[in-house]
Amino acid sequence: MSFHDGWAAINLEMPDRVPRTEYSVSEHWELVSKVTGVDIKADSLNETKIKASAAFIRAWNYDLYWNVLVGGGIFGEKRTKMGHAVYSSGGTDFDTHIEQLYADPEDSMGFDPWALYGKKDQHKLVGDFNSHYQYSCALNPDLVNMTGIYVTCMSGLIEIFGWDTLLSAAGIDPDGFGEVTNRYSSWILQYFNALAECDSPVVMVHDDIVWSSGAFLHPDWYRRFIFPNYRKCFAPLIEAKKIILYTSDGDYTRFIDDVAGCGINGFVFEPLTDMQYIAEKYGKTHCFVGNADTRVLLNGSRDDIYAEVKRCMDIGKQYPGFFMAVGNHIPSNTPVDNVMYYNEAYEKMSKR
């Protein structure tokens, strides 16, 4: 692991090698066992899993660790339960529980986060962010760590309302749902104010504003209600001189310029978002992380995997802030030999 290389890239000072991060693969237990020699399985003790994951991250020489603290749990039971398909090794994340906070989309227009969730203790929020960041630094001391927020705006609304109610409400009354969005942003701002005060110099802001085909609401709606609220929430981070990394799943190519205009310092994205555009327009002013396609690792040949790594390197390697990563995670059903070869290809091409 290299804090030096990760920190250099974050600050647009080109390191001698292309730094890297990955997502989920440190919980691909068959792979973790092969790389580290630790006998680890889906039903192993949690403490053993944490140690094995940290050993894997060291072995794979991560330079940056994607991490957030604030997710859907902050809403307690006052949110929609949408269940969960199998993703994790052993199916430990499978959940059939479905429950709606607002069954009637029109009822959701009365949503008041201050009444539902209340005002938060700012001192405690800062302390929670600091504890999260310090724990991450202790676990993985030799790379760039962070803390952050998962439910920035749209992701928070998805957690609270669920897809059915959200899409129905926004379709029935776009302006009314925009006001709901404004009220949510006024409440989540408490967490951004605390994030600005915490010790972490790098912060992650996550918000799934699109899906695989792009925007699921009219682009004008985003520009009226999402990005103005981003600017309000990011303002304390900018004032505190935090390095702001931004993540959205799906294809947010259409909104790259809008996101950049909100004051972020780096882009994190899946293969659907156009890395070539980001590199050419923002590669000298922003860091960016991506964006090999996990489907190639899952189903491709060695030649396919090599070509996918080369595609990313050909775009990103010439820019100082480029980090290599598989943009849409490496899940536990990915063949171990394919993942090992991906890492071999990365290591071969990472030297500048």
- Whether residues 118 and 258 share a domain: the answer is yes
Q: How would you write the pLDDT of the chain (352 residues) with one tens digit per residue?
A: 589 999 999 999 999 999 999 999 999 999 999 999 999 999 999 999 999 999 999 999 999 999 999 999 999 999 987 655 555 666 666 546 667 889 899 999 999 999 999 999 999 999 999 999 999 999 999 999 999 999 999 999 999 999 999 999 999 999 999 999 999 999 999 999 999 999 999 999 999 999 999 999 999 999 999 999 999 999 999 999 999 999 999 999 999 999 999 999 999 999 999 999 999 999 999 999 989 999 999 999 999 999 999 999 999 999 999 999 999 999 999 999 999 999 999 999 999 9
Same domain flag for 147 and 231: yes
Question: What's the rounded Cα separation, in Å, for the pair 255 and 37?
Answer: 43
Which positions ≥6 away from 84 have C-beta within 8 Å? 93, 94, 95
Is there a single domain that holds both residue 182 and residue 107?
yes
Say if 86 falls within a structural domain: no
Same domain, 152 and 237: yes
Query: Which uninterrupted H or E stretch holds 289?
Result: strand 287-292
56, 35 contact by CB (below 8 A): yes
Q: What tokens were used for 219?
A: 């682009």
**Torsion-angle region of 15 (φ positive above 0: left; ψ -120 to 50: alpha; else: beta):** beta
- Assess whether 306 and 318 both reside in one domain: yes
Contact indicator for 197, 128 with CB cutoff of 8 Å: no
Whether 34 maps to a domain, the answer reads yes
Give domain status of residue 74, yes or no: yes
On whether residue 94 sits in a domain, the answer given is no
Q: Has residue 18 been placed in a domain?
A: yes
Count structural domains, the chain: 2
pLDDT confidence of residue 226: 98
Q: Are residues 171 and 192 in the same domain?
A: yes
For residues 242 and 181, membership in a common domain is answered with yes
At 81 the pLDDT is 74
Same domain, 202 and 301: no
| Separation of alpha carbons 295 and 326, rounded Å | 10
The CATH number assigned to the domain holding 244 equals 3.20.20.210
What domain range includes position 227?
Answer: 68-78+100-269
Domain shared by 181 and 321, yes or no: no
> What is the reported pTM?
0.95
Same domain, 241 and 330: no
Non-local CB neighbours of 87 within 8 Å, separated by 6+ positions: 93, 331, 332
89 domain-assigned: no
